[in-house]
Amino acid sequence: DAMVIQNPRYQVTQFGKPVTLSCSQTLNHNVMYWYQQKSSQAPKLLFHYYDKDFNNEADTPDNFQSRRPNTSFCFLDIRSPGLGDAAMYLCATSRDGTVEAFFGQGTRLTVV
């Protein structure tokens, strides 16, 4: 059974048109992460939530925002996607941030 679910699997958006990616979890984990992964590169941490506490990485562009309305769901909002934002976006959860994470299958974002 899928424990971290990302929707959609594939998303095509227009240059400059806001887009939202979603992640849900059935694990009741406290921590949820968003990563950006470009082709042949390591995942780059954008931000994470510990419960309701939002933690932004210093080099995450302002164009990227996140919401976590409850324990189960977390959203990644890209306010004005550029061509450089085309990537795989990975969501992950962890019980408390010190133990292993569980990943979703990712959403591949294409910007046209």
Partner 1 sequence: AQTVTQSQPEMSVQEAETVTLSCTYDTSENNYYLFWYKQPPSRQMILVIRQEAYKQQNATENRFSVNFQKAAKSFSLKISDSQLGDTAMYFCAPEKLVFGKGTKLTVNP
Candidate residues 21, 33, 36, 46; the one interacting with partner 1 per rule CB under 8 A? 33
Provide the 8-state DSSP code for 58. Answer: T
Residue carrying the six token digits 């971290």: 4
Provide the CA 58 distance to its chain's centre, in angstroms: 16
Q: What is the dihedral of CA 79, 80, 85, 86, to 10 degrees?
A: 100
Nearer to partner 1, 27 or 88 (CB): 88
Nearer to partner 1, 65 or 94 (CB): 94
Residues in the chain: 112
- Residue with smaller CB distance to partner 1, 5 or 73: 5
Q: How far is the CB of 81 from partner 1 (least distance, A)?
A: 20
Query: Bridge-partner residues for 55, per DSSP?
Result: 48
Residues in contact with partner 1 by CB under 8 A are 33, 41-43, 45, 88, 90, 92, 94, 97-106
